[in-house]
Amino acid sequence: MSTQGIRACALHALAIVSCACVSTEQREHYAALRDRLVAAPPAASAAALDPLEHSPELSRSALVELVLARNPGIDAARAAARAALARWPQESALPDPMFGYGLRPQSLASSEVHPGNDFELSQGLPFPGKLELRGERALSEADAAESGLALERVRLASVTSIAFDEYWLSERARETNAHQRALLAHAREVALSRYAAGTGEQQDALAAETEQAMLEHRAIELDVERSVAVERINVLLDRPPQLELPPPPLDLEPPAEESNLDVATLVARALERRPELRALQAEVRARESEVAIARRDFLPDFTVRAGYDSTWQEVPLRPLVGFELNLPLQLERRRAALEEADAQLAREKSRLRRLENEVSLQVTVALQRLHESRHLLELSESRLVPVARARESSARAAFSAGRIAFIELTEAERALTSADQSVFEARAAFSRRVAELAKAVGNLAGAPDTEP
């Protein structure tokens, strides 16, 4: 082969190699994903210090922020995304070149021919476009894994916000119980003094003792509920469960809500933001690439070769360049692979449509429950508590004047305690509904305009 022929073959091989390489757009996509996944410090390093050690009060926003920085689930999801992203350099790279050497042993002892040494270098080259499609598939799967990280952040923010509500509610219940016990202690002293003076009934004194015992047992139950709430938050924070937490604020500030928006707007926002939807959309893209790869498998792959055969006595014949290609004759196998890829693509598209319907329903139900919870809160604050407070005040004055029995005062106090507690529970429930709506829309609880 002439020098010009060798040069033409080399240029042709170089053109094939360039066609087999991935695009600049894919490289930029990979770099952007990698930067996002390594930007945040690992939760293990954040857990080295306890940021709540000297905090005077625990706020919802600070707690959510700390959980998102310290919870090991975030690191696990980020590691899964990084593992998926690491597939791209593997899928988009050319196979390793092969080097071969051969020796003809009898040529070493011959005086008639030169020693027979053969050298060969070869490089496998997929048909143009195959590496590009494999890279697209790998990046789409990495996008899906990154959406899994966002989904974990949304889930943890919602769980943390609800745990904060439970912690606040347990504190308010303990305070209500303590206040009720203080009122009961005064009424009990009045009942006992009247019984000792012969102006009261024995049943009033006995009822006071019974009510006091019940309230003391209720105090123990509330202490257990508070301990469980504290332990749940500590687990979310990756702290030892037995550590104490700063007290919650006296007034519960619910996470910011989006209930002023109409259902259509919230559904549209959810369809755009929900990490599960973004993950499935990425899976659809990956399966589309899989179908394209299956179609390209009907086309041959190449191997370019360059060698040197020293057994040729004519020096110009010793260099060798050439190529090989596989013959894709196993059509049944390739048709089956294409059918499998088509079926997987159809499955992911169906899952995506189903999830879109479920998201629309979740947003609609969450908004309705939020409106219901707001109505219950307004009813409790404006009607139930004022009536119960007036009834308890009237009963206490009547008991002090000796016009009613102790049991009637106890019933009035129970009604007031129940009304106060119902307000606290309604506030916590309203806050929980707000967090559920934020999760349904795909936002971090407490930050409706913030995407995870």
Residue 277 has what pLDDT? 96
What is this structure's pTM? 0.82
pLDDT, average across residues 430-449 = 85
Confidence check: pLDDT of 17 > 60? no
Q: Quick check: 347 pLDDT over 70?
A: yes
Question: Quick one: pLDDT at residue 446?
Answer: 64
Report the distance separating Cα 42 and Cα 145, nearest Å.
17
Torsion on CA atoms 404, 405, 409, 411, rounded to nearest 10: -120
Calpha distance 362→357 (Å, rounded): 9
Q: So what's the pLDDT on residue 220?
A: 92
Helix, strand, or coil (residue 322): strand
**Residue 182: how many other CB atoms lie within 10 Å:** 9
Domain range annotation of the chain? 3-441
How many Cβ atoms from other residues are within 10 Å of residue 317's Cβ?
11
**Residue 303 φ/ψ, nearest 5 degrees:** -135, 120
Structure tokens at 128: 């143009």
Confidence tier at 1 by pLDDT (50, 70, 90): very low
Burial of 447 per CB tally in 10 Å (0-12, 13-18, 19+): middle
Q: Which residues contact 262 (CB under 8 A, 6 or more apart)?
A: none
pLDDT at 70 over 50: yes
pLDDT in tens, 379-438: 888 888 888 888 878 887 887 777 777 677 777 777 877 788 888 889 999 999 999 999
Of all residues in the chain, the percent with pLDDT exceeding 70 is: 85
Neighbouring C-beta atoms of residue 423, cutoff 10 Å: 19
pLDDT for residue 184: 72
Question: Is the sign of the CA dihedral 448, 450, 451, 452 positive or negative?
Answer: negative
* CA-closest candidate to residue 137, choices 26, 212, 223: 26
Fold of 3-441: Outer membrane efflux proteins (OEP) (1.20.1600)
Short-list 62, 241, 278, CA closest to 157? 62
Determine what percent of the chain falls in helix, strand and coil, rounding each to the nearest 5: 70, 10, 20
Spatial contact of 320 and 309, defined as CB atoms under 8 Å apart: yes
Tokens of 256: 């910011």
Q: Which strands form 319-325's sheet, in the order they lie side by side?
A: 98-104, 116-125, 302-309, 319-325
pLDDT over threshold 60, residue 11: no
- Say which DSSP state 54 is in: T
Instruction: Kindly state the DSSP code that residue 447 receives in the 8-state scheme.
Output: B
For residue 211, pLDDT over 70 is answered with yes
Lookup: tokens for 183: 């009122």
